[in-house]
Homo-oligomer: A and B are copies of this chain.
């Protein structure tokens, strides 16, 4: 499915970030950016903590790697993310010229890569990464389901 033998271990790091996000009360999504088989940046969602609706895991690792690279483009970078990116993140991934995108679980509701807007298939998309999906899917999905199940059982004013 993927040309990179380290795929599973990189996705495991992203899943660890998703778990850490859940422990902080954030939606459990994690992302890792790889360059030449080295981990350059990893993050989980931090929208609540940072008071920033753009602080999705993908945006955080892209911004961090761009700072390290002194560039707004990351053409030889591969992104591992535990949930299919939303429209905002799909566009940011394209703007950053990410080379490959590895997705664990699909997101039929808010995903914009394999579902919904299918951003990379649109005629106005200037750059589409190579896409690989399904690596670590069961664990990433389980984390999300468990998180939302627990949240539904908490009175809304405690969230």
A residues at B contact (CB < 8 Å) = 47-48, 50-55, 59, 62-63, 66-67, 69-73, 86-92, 95-96, 109-110, 112, 116-117, 119, 122, 124
Contact = CB atoms under 8 A, between A and B. Distances in A.
Given A109-B124, A110-B124, A119 B87 contact: yes
Q: Which 3 interchain pairs have the tightest Cβ spacing?
A: A88-B91, A53-B95, A87-B91
B53 A73 contact: yes
Given A53-B95, A88-B89, 5 more contacts: A53-B66, A53-B96, A87-B88, A110-B124, A116-B124
A53 B109 contact: no
Contact of A63 (B54, B91, B95): B54
Contact of A54 (B62, B86, B109, B124): B62
A94 to B, nearest CB: 9
Contacts of A95: 47, 53-54, 88
Nearest to A95: B53
A91 B96 contact: no
